Structure 1
Amino acid sequence: MNSLRMLLVGTVLMAGAQNLGAQNIATQYQTGTTFETSGLTGFQTSGAGMAGMQVTARFSGGQTFSGFWTDLGDLTFGSFTYAAHGVSQAWGDVSFPSSGNTNGNFWILRLASGDYGALLSLQFNGAPGRTLFDCRFTATGCAQSGGTSIDGTVGSSGAITAQVAAPNSVAGISPHNQFDAQKVSGVYANSINLVGAPAVGDLFEQFTLVFDGGLTQDAGLFLFAVDTDNANPNATIVPTTPVPEPSTYALLATGLGALMLAKRRRRHADVG
């Protein structure tokens, strides 16, 4: 890759939400299914560091696509080309620079086809890999970006809460973000704690972008920022209350059926 081109990426795209007039969006926080992990590698995560994350795109036409975050090679956006990790499918792609830092910098969403209708939501689940979603944490919980923050879970640090780029604020890749930011919301779900410690409230296993009315190709590229952390190498992110296997449900149903049959027989015996 041309070193000057990489420098441009570093100074323009990677200036990101911290310097280019990013806009806050409405956010929600849901405990959901609780997860835990043994520890964090630190508070800086790159595109390459999110390998294995699952991404699910839902469209107004009824189609749902799911894929796993991986190396996409070089991607081109307008006048910029850089090495990226992400998910690329028939509907389009979502990516982040392989060597970038997610804290305050932009991810890029590109719709490549209108065949599936408008994009209603884009959901990220970190548990298949080692990715956790962080927010700007205060003494009372998560808050919108723009103020001071405090460190939350041990190994994490001050972060941003989800934001989107202002329309056409990044030169060289216009048009982008031609979609009303007030119609975009972010949902953090599935609280994460470290093994042996209660959840602090700043880390989540899932993050979802929701587009009220649906995002279409007419909006151009869509740039957004959401901060991530990584679990320790070789660590897993697992539910603290395991979801029963289908065989468990079958055994439970069999047991309940036998119990109901026994009750009916007992009632008949009492009547006789």
Structure 2
Amino acid sequence: EKFALLGTDYVYPRTTNNILEAYLQEKGIAAEDIFVNYTPFGHSDWSKIVADVVALGADGKKVGVISTINGDANIGFYKELAAAGISADDIPVVAFSVGEEELSGLDTSDLVGHLAAWNYFQSVESDANEAWVEAWKARMGEERVTNDPMEAHFIGFNMWVNAATAAGTTDVDAVRTAMYGQEFPNLTGGTAVMLPNHHLAKPVLIGEIQADGQFDIISATEPVPGDAWTDFLPESAVLKSDWKELGCGMYNTETSTCVQIESNY
């Protein structure tokens, strides 16, 4: 009924939270019931922020946290929640930036029951994933874990190999053209598809953190087509990305023009 959107202060959390605010309000959550806060990388003093989150529920409404907190700052955040006597049953946290690698080697007792959303978890039950995890551990050590960015790279590299083979060259433009429509089995079952907007169609999974640092998958969707521009913000709702037919990543459907972004790099 109320939401705290907590993020590290850089572009990904700010963009994510802009979308989430618009989405939540469309779903009937009042603006005053959404608390947004940003902290610097490595932030360690979470007492005031956790107190503010707890205070959201003073009127009896249920509070949830959506976290785009990055890196070591997560350790202090979850510890402060536990120190305040807050469990996942009281105020559940779903994180977009906490996976197996971030949990590896940590005491996860303060995190059990909280959630994370990714396209892949090491705990996925599939023959392909079990073989992949086994091969990774055999090469790198039993204590090493896999995670979502690794699966994304596994898929992307194999798609590139197939596209370069189809193109008969490693020329960038030729390979890019051959990439559209490329399919490759993902490790969660099903098939990842490269779309004309340079994004993949992949399932979305929600996992519950376990004491061993792994995730119990409690929700999984069918493959969701990746969208370059959200419909929940008016400035991007009019944009379309189609590199195959339009040759443009920011095509304005109202003006029928391709928006060009100048770079200083």
After TM superposition, the score normalised by the length of structure 1 is: 0.24
Where is the strand percentage greater, Structure 1 or Structure 2? 1
Larger radius of gyration: 1
Q: Tell me which of the two structures has the higher relative contact order, counting C-alpha pairs closer than 8 angstroms and 6 or more residues apart.
A: 1
